[in-house]
Amino acid sequence: MSSTTTASPTATCVTVTPGKNGYVPPEACNANYAYDPSFAAAVVTSILFGLLLGLHLFQAILYRKKFCWVIIMGAIWETASFVLRALGAKDQQNVTFATVSQILVLLAPLWINAFDYMVLGRMVYFFLPEQKLYIKATSFSACFVWLDITSFLVQLGGGLLLTGTGQSAKVLSIGKNIYMGGIGMQQLFILAFFGMVIMFHRRALVLEREGVLATTGKTKWRMMLYCLYASLLLISIRIVYRLIEFSRGTGTNNPIPYHEFYLYLLDALPMCLALLAMSIGHPGRTLVGPDSEFPHLTRKEKKAAKAAAKAEKLQMKMDGMLGHERVASSQIELLQHDKLSSSFEAGGDLPVHPSQTWQPRELYKGESDMV
């Protein structure tokens, strides 16, 4: 294996002539992997993710749950990532295979995470009579999904910098820090979400003891909730692994980036199990009938509802103005009454309207004769 030395403004590295399957040592300038990737492991993992993808597609169609496209997208990204990794294992000098595979595996869990948020929102809407956990189920679900999107965008920015070819050490460090910030945000949101899941769990237990769930026939909440717990825990394991991997740097004292085993054990396996958990506790099995989905209004219905809300707000405003006028009038009358009462109690004459004041009048002729 021959080599040449290439100098750059930031570092000096060696460009090595690729060996079998395009392999070069991790320290080489033309290295796309920090190890010799396993073709067999990538094939087996891509098959597992492919089977889970097919299972979720089948369940989404069977149960007619449109929002399941989110977890299907996560399964597609995981499958595609390891298919590209298998191709890259046989062509390790192909930058596209290495870059796209890395971006997909870094971001795919966010889709599964978003699905978990959407599932709990629908569980709140379906099982709880008040259809809220402090805030409405629809707003609660949308809030966490938008937080997940924010985390997604941050991680995407960091991931693009990390996987770019020919990047300087400074740019790679910035990308690493941005990505770590993104997954740190994701874990923070998951912890807050865990609190909401526990609140739902406690509320469901109360409703079960009171017989409310039995009355409505909505009793099969446990399996779905436990699978949701499992999915969130597995995603958290994967996040902790990535935080440790990036926080310790890429030096020789950090073995994680240089051993593919950790990727499969602490990233691929947890995500496989998370997809399996949400298939076992699939919402389509439990969320059936009225209130199993958020209400979907047509554009005409939304416009009518908006107009009605505006009219109601205007009416309330008018009623408030009339109420203020009545109060002001009552206060004026009360003040006048108090003033009259005070004058009378002081021994003074009650004020009399000018029309009621006595005035002398002329006497008629007959009256003057009598006088």
Percent of the chain with pLDDT over 70: 78
Of residues 78 and 220, more confidence is placed in 78
What is the CA angle 57-58-60, rounded to 5?
Answer: 65
In a domain, 8, yes or no: no
Q: How confident is the model at residue 335 (pLDDT cuts 50, 70, 90)?
A: low
Residue 258 Cα distances to 36, 186, 250, angstroms: 9, 25, 8
Give the structural domain span for 79.
21-296
Domain check: are 279 and 356 in the same one?
A: no
Q: Which two tokens stand for residue 4?
A: 């040449």
Residue showing tokens 């690493």: 176
Judgement on whether residues 214 and 316 belong to the same structural domain of the protein: no
Check whether residue 65 and residue 25 sit in a common domain: yes
User: Which range has highest mean pLDDT (114-118, 174-178, 289-293)?
Assistant: 114-118
* The pLDDT of residue 202: 95
Average pLDDT over residues 299-307: 65
Question: Quick one: CA dihedral 248, 155, 169, 166, positive or negative?
Answer: positive
Which range, of 167-171, 210-214, 265-269, 322-326, averages the lowest pLDDT? Answer: 322-326
Per the model's pLDDT, the better-predicted residue between 265 and 360 turns out to be 265
Residues 272 and 336 in one domain: no
Q: What is the mean pLDDT of residues 49-54?
A: 98
CA 327 – CA 323 distance, rounded (Å) = 6
Domain stop point among 246, 264, 296: 296
Domain shared by 216 and 333, yes or no: no
Domain stops at, among 269, 296, 323: 296
Most confident of 119-128, 246-255, 308-317: 119-128
pLDDT value at residue 101:
96
Are 200 and 233 contained in the same domain? yes
Question: What is the average pLDDT across 193-219?
Answer: 92
Mean pLDDT of 323-341: 65
User: How do residues 90-126 score in pLDDT, each as one tens digit?
Assistant: 999 999 999 999 999 999 999 999 999 999 999 999 9
Per-residue pLDDT at 9:
41
- Report the CATH number at residue 87: 1.20.1070
- The answer to whether residue 219 is domain-embedded is yes
Q: Is residue 165 part of a domain?
A: yes
Angle at 92 between CA 91 and CA 93, to 5 degrees: 95
Region 289-314: mean pLDDT is 72
Rounded CA-CA distance 165/199 in Å is 46
Q: What is the pLDDT of residue 37?
A: 95
- Assigned domain for 106 exists: yes
Q: Which residue has the higher pLDDT, 360 or 132?
A: 132
Query: What pLDDT was estimated at residue 8?
Result: 43
Q: Do 229 and 340 fall into the same domain?
A: no
Cα–Cα distance between 297 and 294 in angstroms, integer? 10
**Is the domain of 280 the same as that of 317?**
no
Claim to verify: residue 277 and residue 351 sit in the same structural domain: no
Domain-embedded: residue 93? yes
Q: Are residues 222 and 319 in the same domain?
A: no
| Same-domain pairing of 181 and 288 | yes
> 370 is written with which tokens?
């009598």
| Total domains present in the chain | 2
Is 1 in contact with 19 (CB distance < 8 Å)? yes
Of the three residues 296, 317, 351, the one that is the final residue of a domain is 296
Mean pLDDT of 209-237: 93
Q: How far is the CA of 209 from the CAs of 212, 286, 367, in angstroms?
A: 8, 20, 97
For the cut 80, the answer to whether the pLDDT of residue 353 exceeds it is no
pLDDT at 94: 94
Question: CA-to-CA distance for 267 and 244, rounded, in angstroms?
Answer: 12
Q: What is the mean pLDDT of the chain?
A: 84
| 14 is a domain residue | no
In terms of domains, do 320 and 230 share one? no
The tens digit of pLDDT for each residue in 17-51 reads: 888 999 988 888 888 898 999 999 999 999 999 99
Encoding tokens for residue 25?
A: 């040592």
Nearby residues of 122 by Cβ (< 8 Å), 6 or more positions away: 67, 137, 141, 283, 287, 292, 293, 294
What pLDDT score was predicted for residue 283? 95
